[in-house]
Amino acid sequence: MDNQDNSKIYRVIGGIFISSIDPLLQADHEVLSKTYGITHILTVMKQALPDHYKANYTTMQIPIDDSPNEVLFTYFKQSNDFISSALFGNTFDELISDSENKDDALQQIKRTKHQGKILIHCSAGQSRSASFLIAFLMKFYQMNYKTAKYAISRSKPDIQPNESFKSQLLLYKKLDCEDDPKKLDMNAEYKQFLREMQFSQISGSSVEDNIKSFLSDSSNFKDEHNSGALNTNEPVYELRCKRCRQMLAKSNCFVNHDPPPEEPTEDGSEGYRNPANKQLYFTKNAFKSRRVISRERASNTCTHYFVEPLTWMKDELSKGEMEGKFNCLKCQAKVGGYSWKGSRCSCGKWMIPAMNLQVSKVDKVLIKRK
């Protein structure tokens, strides 16, 4: 990776610039406006800017660390609105509000020349600032993660969002760059992401505390009879117990997941040697040893339906166990299981926490077509 000059300000495209904190601390603040024409500054770090910047520029601060525990989604809308207002004079919603066709409006945004100029920075100008700029490019210019990152790295090759930020940006793109908190709160994949963030970084007694906190909030549980999905244009399914036909979940409760992606190694070696591919393999080690006894490729098919925590599951989940099984309410046949610490699907994907119904124990029944 190229060594970058942290004292420099790098122009990405149009009126968008990126940097570390260094040039803002070392130079006269007028350099930003006189040399680069910058009028807005987005600070993505907990350290505040000197007051003279706040007095002479339009500023906004996102107070986060470069940490895997940070939830970027919390700030996407306000950062996108701030960057858009700096460049176009309007937010994204305002830019598309007068258009009858969203796709036409997006194409118009691509052709619109930037009216203002903004500097986006964090401490090193590598992870946090790059992540929010990638999010903006994906939403406003319909880029995928790889293209958006490349658009920035052409000017500043050392940018590298941490792995958690990268995962969040990939999910953001998958959710069609939705940043409205109310709409996100209705999305099962997003809620699963929040649960994963809540439970994946804890250990010891904090696990029990988190479980108690989770169980005490009724909003964490979804009514399996909820027919919200019936109002969509998507087909609706029910999962029913194979033995007695008891309805267990509707498809609006499903937590869809993609199998771990195939990521070829740079040196051409077998995939399991690449840490990015670790979920693609099930590895068994010798007892109390790192010696590998066997390694099997994950399946191409999934043996579980992962679902949101449902109201009928609450009694079982409240027993205080770290993992257990779900029985059908009507016939008591085993239909699935759970693990607060997470479990893997047969495709290799980790789900944390994991609430699942087994494909072999339930029938998937179509109840509404498109």
Mind listing the pLDDT tens digit of every residue in the chain (370 residues)?
Answer: 445 667 799 999 999 999 999 999 886 788 899 999 999 999 999 998 999 999 999 999 999 999 999 999 999 999 999 999 999 999 888 888 877 777 788 888 888 899 999 999 999 999 999 999 999 999 999 999 999 999 999 999 999 999 999 999 999 999 999 999 999 988 888 999 998 888 876 555 567 788 888 899 888 899 888 755 445 677 889 999 999 999 999 998 999 887 776 654 444 444 444 545 667 776 777 776 777 677 777 788 899 999 999 999 999 999 989 999 999 999 999 999 999 988 888 888 888 899 999 999 999 999 887 6
pLDDT for the residue 229: 46
What one-letter code names the amino acid at 368?
K
pTM tops 0.85: no
pLDDT for the residue 152: 97
**And the tokens for 332?**
């008591």
Quickly name the fold that domain 196-257+301-368 has: 2.170.150
* Crossing angle between the packed helical segments 128-141 and 102-111, to the nearest 10 degrees: 120
For the chain, the straight-line distance linking the first and the last C-alpha, in angstroms and rounded, comes to 49
**Strand, helix or coil for residue 1:** coil
pLDDT for the residue 268: 42
pLDDT for the residue 285: 73
CATH 2.170.150 in the chain, residues? Answer: 196-257+301-368
**Strand, helix or coil for residue 220:** helix
Q: Is 289 exposed, middle or buried (0-12, 13-18, 19+ CB in 10 A)?
A: exposed
What one-letter code names the amino acid at 70?
E
CATH 3.90.190.10 in the chain, residues? Answer: 9-184
Q: Which of 16, 84, 27 is CA-nearest to residue 50?
A: 27
Find out whether 135 and 80 touch, Cβ atoms under 8 Å. Answer: yes
Q: Which of 320, 352, 355 is CA-nearest to residue 337?
A: 355
In angstroms, the CA 218 to CA 326 distance is: 19
CATH of domain 9-184: 3.90.190.10
Whose structure tokens read 């800017």?
49
Residue 43 phi/psi, 5-degree rounding, is: -100, 120
Name the residues annotated as catalytic: 122
